[in-house]
């Protein structure tokens, strides 16, 4: 979404802290106590007042992921693909469930996937991948340096 700081960590969206901007995409993690309100009152609020282009809801207890796209004044369901993932036009990515261990907890997590189906890494995963790639490059450079030193030593002896 343009016009807002993508690097700022947010617990919640507060319009006056975003220069009056309202979100284009909303993700709602449902709990049994709020699910009915989220599917009715909040859904209407997001459609009529926020005009949020897309609204994704995930109910952890049932592992149910739903996606809605604004069509006029009302939301229409986003149909899942063959993997059960929902295409977000706003994000240019699929929204789906990914089963893995995060911080020692095995679970299904709501994650973003590229159009080719590959997982879009979180910031922490991307940083870990960068660090591993850097370590591999350093190891390869050290191995090449050792090989060249050996070659040089052989030439000097020869």
Q: What three-state secondary structure class fits 109? A: strand
Are 27 and 94 within one domain? yes
Domain that holds residue 91: 1-120
Looking at the structure, tell me whether residues 95 and 146 fall in a common domain.
no
Specify whether 50 is located in the same domain as 127: no
3-state secondary structure of 148: helix
156 in the same domain as 89: no
Do residues 109 and 146 share a domain? Answer: no
Same domain, 71 and 106: yes
Q: Assess whether 87 and 142 both reside in one domain.
A: no
- Assess whether 52 and 112 both reside in one domain: yes
pLDDT of residue 110: 94
Where residue 1 falls among pLDDT bands split at 50, 70, 90?
very low
The residue from 120, 135, 150 where one domain ends is: 120
Same domain, 42 and 112: yes
23-44 as b/e: b if 16+ CB within 10 A: bbbbebebeeeebeebbeebbe
pLDDT tens by residue, 54-71:
999 999 999 999 999 999
In DSSP terms, 110 is beta-bridged to: 97
Of 120, 16, 12, 1, which is closest to residue 52 (Cα–Cα)? 1
pLDDT of residue 66: 96
When divided into structural domains, the chain yields a total of 2
For 57: left if phi > 0, alpha if psi spans -120 to 50, otherwise beta; the answer is beta
pTM over 0.75: no
Q: Are residues 86 and 125 in the same domain?
A: no
Question: Quick one: 87 and 148 in the same domain?
Answer: no
Which are the contacts of 64, defined by CB distance < 8 A and separation ≥ 6? Answer: 57, 58
Can you tell me the mean pLDDT for 5-25? 69
The predicted pLDDT at position 8 comes to 67
């Amino acid at each position: 979404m343009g016009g807002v700081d993508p690097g700022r960590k947010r617990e919640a969206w507060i319009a006056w802290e975003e220069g009056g901007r309202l979100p284009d995409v909303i993700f709602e993690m449902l709990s049994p106590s709020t699910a009915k309100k989220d599917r009715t009152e909040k859904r209407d609020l997001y459609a009529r007042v926020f005009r949020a282009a897309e609204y994704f809801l995930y109910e952890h207890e049932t592992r149910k992921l739903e996606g809605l796209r604004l069509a006029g004044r009302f939301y229409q369901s986003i149909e899942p693909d063959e993997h059960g993932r929902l295409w977000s036009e706003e994000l240019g990515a699929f929204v789906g469930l990914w089963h893995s261990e995060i911080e020692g907890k095995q679970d299904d997590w709501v994650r973003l996937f590229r159009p080719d189906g590959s997982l879009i890494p979180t910031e922490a995963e991307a940083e870990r991948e960068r660090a591993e790639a850097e370590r591999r490059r350093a190891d390869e450079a050290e191995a090449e340096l050792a090989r060249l030193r050996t070659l040089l030593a052989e030439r000097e002896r020869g």
